[in-house]
Structure 1
Amino acid sequence: MAKEIGPGEPGQFSAKDYQDPPPAPLIDPVELTKWSFYRALIAEFIATMLFLYITVLTVIGYKSQTDPNLIPVPDQCGGVGILGIAWAFGGMIFVLVYCTAGISGGHINPAVTFGLFLARKVSLIRAVMYMVAQCLGAICGVGLVKAFQKSHYKRYGGGANELADGYSKGVGLAAEIIGTFVLVYTVFSATDPKRSARDSHVPVLAPLPIGFAVFMVHLATIPITGTGINPARSLGAAVMYNKEKAWDDQWIFWVGPFVGAAIAAFYHQFILRAGAIKALGSFRSNPHV
C-alpha cells in the first residue's frame, strides 16, 4: 500500500505552509530610483507598440482583401476573416506576455494594470506609469501602420474601435465590461501564487490562457464594438485615425474595461480568495473592536 504523505512532507501542499505575498505599497517612491522600474516601462511600451502594429495591420489587411470596390466578386472566405483577426489579437497577447512577464509582468493593457492595482499587486506609481507607457506604445504602434499603409489606413477605418450600427451604447458598454471581466479574471487565475504553489507539479504556462481569453472575447464582441477590452488599444487607434465617430464612442472603451477589471479584481480577491471572510474574521476576533 502506498505510503501516505503527511502535511509538510515533500510532494504535499499544505494550505498552512502557504503565505500570501505582502500587498504592494500604495505609493513607493523607491521604485523611481531602480533601473528595473524603467526597464519594465520600456518593456510595456515596446510590447504594446508591437501588439497594435500587428493587430491593426491584420484588421486593415483583411478589409482590403475583401473590399467589394477592388474585387468584382467578393470572396466571403477571403482574407483571414474574423476568426483570423481574433487569433491575431489572442496570439500576440500570448507571445508578448510570454516575452515580458518576467520583466514587467506583461500587462500590455491599462485595464489589467488597473485591476492588479486594485488588488494591491502593483503600486500607484507603477500603475500610472505603466498606463502612460502602454498608451504611448499603442499610439506609436498604430502610427507605424499609418506610415507604412497610409492609403489603406484611412480607407479601411484605421483599426479604430467604434460601436457597430444597430447596437445601443448600453449594449456596447456591457460587451466591454463582460469582455474585460473575462480577461482580467483569467489574468488573476493564471497568475495566482497560491494556485502556483498548490499545483507546482502541474506546469502552467500563464500566457496561454490569457491569450485564449483575448481570442474568445474577440470572437464574441468584434461584431458589436470591434472589441476594445484594452483602453490603450482603443486610444492609439483613435488618435491616429482621428475621426468623430471614433472619439464619440471612446468613453465606452475606457469606462467598460475599467469597470470590468474592477469587478474581476473584487470577485477574485474577495469571493474566490475569501478576502471578505478573512477581513470579517479578523474584525470579529479583535477584542478591542
Structure 2
Amino acid sequence: MTKKLIAEFIGTFWLVLGGCGAAVLAAGVPDVGIGWLGVSFAFGLTVLTMAYAVGHISGGHFNPAVSLGLMLAGKFESKELIPYWVAQVAGAIGASVVLYLIASGLPEFAAGGFASNGYGDASPQGYSMTAALVTEVVMTAFFLIIILGATSAGAPAGFAPIAIGLGLTLIHLISIPVTNTSVNPARSTGVALFAEGPAISQLWLFWVAPLIGAALGALIWRAMSTDD
C-alpha cells in the first residue's frame, strides 16, 4: 500500500507541477507564450507520462474523482479511497509549493490566479457558476468513460495512457475558458492555497462537481460495458 501511495503522490505532483506550471510560467510569456493550447497539452502529457511511469504501481489515478469513479465502477477497493485522496492532495500541495518558489523568483511576480479554478469573475471568460458546474460534471464524466474504456478488457493493450492523456488534453481545450479546467479536486486544492482572489471560497465547486461527474461516468460505463 505504501508504494501505491508514493506513486499517487509522485503522479499528482507531476500533474500539478507540469500542468499548472505550464500555465503559470509559460502560458503568458510575451511573444513566445504557449497559451491555452500549450497548457492543454501540458496537462495531457503529465498524465500520459506518469501513467506509463507509475501506473503499473498504483493504477495511475492522480485525481480523487478518478479514484471515486473507479471504485464505483468496481475497479478499485473502497478501503483504499481515503488514503489515495490524502496522497493525491498532498502531492498537489507539494507541487504547488515548488511552483510558488519557482514563480516567485521573478522580480515582478504576483500570484494572481496562480492557475486556480473559478467561476464568475474568477472564470477566464467570466462564465457563471451554473456553466462551471455543468462543465465540470460533464467533462469529468467523460474523463471517467475514457479511462474505463481505455483500460477495459476489449481495448488495445498498452495504449490506455495515450487515450487518457489525449482525453485530458481535449477536456482542457474545451473547458479552460470556462473554469480554467479542474476535473481534479486535488489539482484545484493545491494551487488555490497560493492564489489571490476567490479561489479558496469557490473551491467547493471543484470538489463537488468532479466527484458527481466521476460517479455519473462510472454509472454510464457500467450500464454499457461488456466486461465481465
TM over 0.5: yes
**What residue in structure 2 maps to residue 228 of structure 1?**
182
Alignment pair present for 1:154 and 2:110: yes
Bigger radius of gyration, 1 or 2?
Answer: 1
Where has structure 1 moved over 4 Å in runs of 4 or more?
none
- Equivalent pairs counted in the alignment come to 222
In 1, are the aligned partners of 2:28 and 2:35 still within 8 Å (CA)? no
- Whole-Å Cα distance in 2 between the matches of residues 225 and 251 of structure 1? 13
In 1, are the aligned partners of 2:147 and 2:164 still within 8 Å (CA)? yes
1:182 to 136, 139, 142: 142
Label 1:205 to 1:274 Cα distance change in 2 as closer, same or farther (>3 A): closer
- Whole-Å Cα distance in 2 between the matches of residues 203 and 266 of structure 1? 24
Cα deviation for residue 62 of structure 1 reads 3.0
Cα deviation for residue 101 of structure 1 reads 1.4
Cα-to-partner distance string for 1:5-38 (whole Å, 9 max, x where unaligned): xxxxxxxxxxxxxxxxxxxxxxxxxxxxxxxx11
SS at match of 2:42: helix
**What residue in structure 1 maps to residue 74 of structure 2?**
120
* Structure 2, unpaired ranges of 5+: none
SS at match of 2:75: coil
SS at match of 2:56: coil
- Whole-Å Cα distance in 1 between the matches of residues 60 and 73 of structure 2? 16
TM-score, normalised to structure 2, is 0.91
In 2, are the aligned partners of 1:218 and 1:227 still within 8 Å (CA)? yes
Cα deviation for residue 64 of structure 1 reads 4.5
Cα-to-partner distance string for 1:222-261 (whole Å, 9 max, x where unaligned): 00100000000000111232x3410122122111111111
Counterpart AA for 1:187: I
Aligned runs of 1:247-286 on 2, under 5 Å? 247-273=200-226
In 2, are the aligned partners of 1:139 and 1:240 still within 8 Å (CA)? no
Counterpart AA for 1:39: K
**What residue in structure 1 maps to residue 24 of structure 2?**
60
Alignment pair present for 1:142 and 2:102: no
- Whole-Å Cα distance in 1 between the matches of residues 5 and 158 of structure 2? 26
Cα deviation for residue 136 of structure 1 reads 0.4
**What residue in structure 2 maps to residue 169 of structure 1?**
129
- Whole-Å Cα distance in 2 between the matches of residues 115 and 209 of structure 1? 17
Aligned runs of 1:4-15 on 2, under 5 Å? none
SS at match of 2:21: helix
Cα-to-partner distance string for 1:65-94 (whole Å, 9 max, x where unaligned): 13xxxxxxxx4xx31111100000001110
SS at match of 2:127: coil
2:159 to 205, 214, 231: 205
In 2, are the aligned partners of 1:60 and 1:156 still within 8 Å (CA)? no
* Structure 1, unpaired ranges of 5+: 1-36, 67-74, 197-201, 276-289
Aligned runs of 1:11-160 on 2, under 5 Å? 37-66=1-30, 75=31, 78-150=32-104, 154-160=110-116
- Whole-Å Cα distance in 2 between the matches of residues 63 and 204 of structure 1? 31
- Whole-Å Cα distance in 2 between the matches of residues 182 and 253 of structure 1? 16
